[in-house]
């Protein structure tokens, strides 16, 4: 018999992600759209924003741009979104 060691990252038992509470309805909510700046991603998100407004009754939507597609959203826009939005949609349009 031989013993071998696990090469993977083993998740700590207590580790959890603190999800923000999910809204039960979108009626009257303010929506932030985060676009990754790839070609056409703004168009895709704009269409999503319009659908959320027309069909789900969101109050408004506003678009925020990441610095580029390969980096996480930067602190400034996250802080701004925390203050000014209830719901956020992030995605890519390639």
Residue 24: HSE in the Cβ half-sphere, 13 Å Cα cutoff: 0
- Residues in contact with 60: Cβ distance below 8 Å, sequence separation at least 6, in sequence order: 30, 31, 53
CA 41 to CA 63: how far, in whole Å?
11
Residue count, binding to other proteins (CB under 8 A): 18
Q: Which of these, 74, 77, 93, lies nearest to 85 by C-alpha position?
A: 77
Counting contacts by CB under 8 A, is residue 12 touching other proteins? no
| Closer CB to other proteins, 24 or 68, in the complex | 68
Counting contacts by CB under 8 A, is residue 16 touching other proteins? no
What character string, x for contact with other proteins (CB under 8 A) and - otherwise, covers 35-64? ----x-------------------------
- Find the binder of other proteins among 1, 18, 25, 54 (CB under 8 A): 1
Kindly list the residues in this chain that would bind other proteins in the complex (CB under 8 A).
1-10, 39, 67-72, 94
């Amino acid at each position: 018999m031989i013993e071998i060691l696990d090469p993977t990252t083993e998740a700590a038992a207590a580790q959890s992600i603190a999800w923000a509470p999910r809204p039960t309805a979108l009626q009257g909510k303010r929506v932030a759209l985060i676009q990754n700046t790839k070609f056409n991603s703004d168009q895709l998100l704009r269409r999503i924003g319009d659908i959320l407004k027309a069909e789900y009754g969101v109050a408004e939507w506003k678009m925020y741009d990441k610095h580029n597609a390969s980096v996480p959203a930067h602190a400034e826009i996250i802080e701004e979104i925390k203050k000014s939005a209830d719901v956020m949609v992030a995605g890519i349009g390639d």
